[in-house]
Structure 1
Amino acid sequence: MKHIDKLPPIILIALFALLTMVSCKNVDDPFVPRVVSPVLVAIDGTAPGDFATEPTISYTKTGNVVLSARILELDKTNLLDYKKGIDSLPVANTKITITLRNTGAVVAELTTDAKGKISVEKTWLALGLSAPVSGNSIPLNWSGSYKGQSFTRLSRASVK
């Protein structure tokens, strides 16, 4: 290595380029691989615009649980036009299955109406709670498929 200064510059450049290419490594993403949902599942009773968290809707322990949502497709055609922006279009005639996340049991199988709405009313017993106590919560999955791509939205129903 004491004669490295006598090597032609082209060899040094080639050696540097080779070492640079060899040192680059394709690293897998450490996070769970996800695909962007083809639709927006806006669960009624949750904070508007809260689509990044798992929403929890609270119900009284004596009443029934009304699970309802709107299924929307985001039309991004006018994304760069600040006067128009992104449009939310209702998704009609799409089958949505609500399941209990703990057991996988089907709570309801629904089809969206022309406005993209679905709604079902269930008792606490039907959701797996025979004696609801304040603080109990039931994790739910809202699943379906749109334009050949499946999607799932998570939520919780809790006892007030």
Structure 2
Amino acid sequence: MKTAKIFLFVAVALATASCKVDDPFVDRVVAPVLLVFDNAIGDGGGFTTEPTVTSKATGTATVSVRILELDKTNILDYKKGIDSIPVTGLALSLTTRAGVKIADLTTDAKGRAMVTKTWAEFGVAAPKAGSIVSLTLTGKYKEQSFSKLARLQAVN
């Protein structure tokens, strides 16, 4: 009797562990690169789901991002860890969430891409502190497309 209970428990555990349930909400793939925004508020690098980048309401607005590939070769060696390698020559497209193209960008030797435009070119006719533009940055690296959401906010 005891053997039958153990067998039944093991059978149920194996059947439960082997079930694969797909995410019912979002079909997603992990991005092949890490995007780090300059001037992002809140976490000091734009590591949030939708980082907010700040720029002065007077004059031009700037969005700057670094693109890094994470080399995890030495992930188990605490003396070396993960290495961040700048991705150079990567073509990117910056658009508003409505699909209006702001700029086409290419990363430099340090993996940085930057765009400076007037607020009107970002779609804000009369910027004031608190004005926000919702942006999408898209690209393709090693045959894998990626997108990153961000916001541009005017400050004093």
TM over 0.5: yes
Cα distance, 1:120 vs structure 2: 1.3
Residue 61 (structure 2) pairs with residue 65 (structure 1) = yes
Residue 88 (structure 2) pairs with residue 92 (structure 1) = yes
Unaligned runs of 5+ in 2: none
The counterpart of 2:27, out of the listed 27, 33, 55, is 33
Structure 2 partner of 1:112 = 107
The counterpart of 1:76, out of the listed 72, 85, 94, is 72
Instruction: Tell me the percent identity.
Output: 49
Structure 2 contact 46–52 (Cα < 8 Å) conserved: no
* TM, length-normalised to structure 1: 0.80
Q: 1:49 to 1:136 in 2, by over 3 A?
A: closer
Q: Counterpart of 1:147 in structure 2: which amino acid?
A: K
Query: Superposed, which structure 2 residues align to 1:1-160 within 5 Å?
Result: 27-46=21-40, 47-48=43-44, 50-101=46-97, 103-160=98-155
Residues 73-111 of structure 1 show CA distances to partners (whole Å, capped at 9, x for unaligned) of: 00000000000100000001110111101x201111011
Cα distance, 1:52 vs structure 2: 3.1
- Range that drifts further, 26-35 or 143-152: 26-35
How far apart, CA to CA, are the structure 2 residues paired with 1:143 and 1:50? 16
Cα distance, 1:50 vs structure 2: 4.5
Q: 1:50 to 1:109 in 2, by over 3 A?
A: closer
How far apart, CA to CA, are the structure 2 residues paired with 1:133 and 1:29? 40
Aligned to 1:92, what secondary structure does the other structure show?
coil
Q: 1:136 to 1:35 in 2, by over 3 A?
A: same
Name the one with the larger strand percent.
2
Q: What is the Cα-based RMSD across aligned positions, in Å?
A: 2.3
How far apart, CA to CA, are the structure 2 residues paired with 1:79 and 1:153? 25
Unaligned runs of 5+ in 1: 1-8
Cα distance, 1:28 vs structure 2: 3.2
Give the structure with higher Rg (CA).
Answer: 1
* TM, length-normalised to structure 2: 0.82
What is the total number of aligned residue pairs between the two structures?
Answer: 145
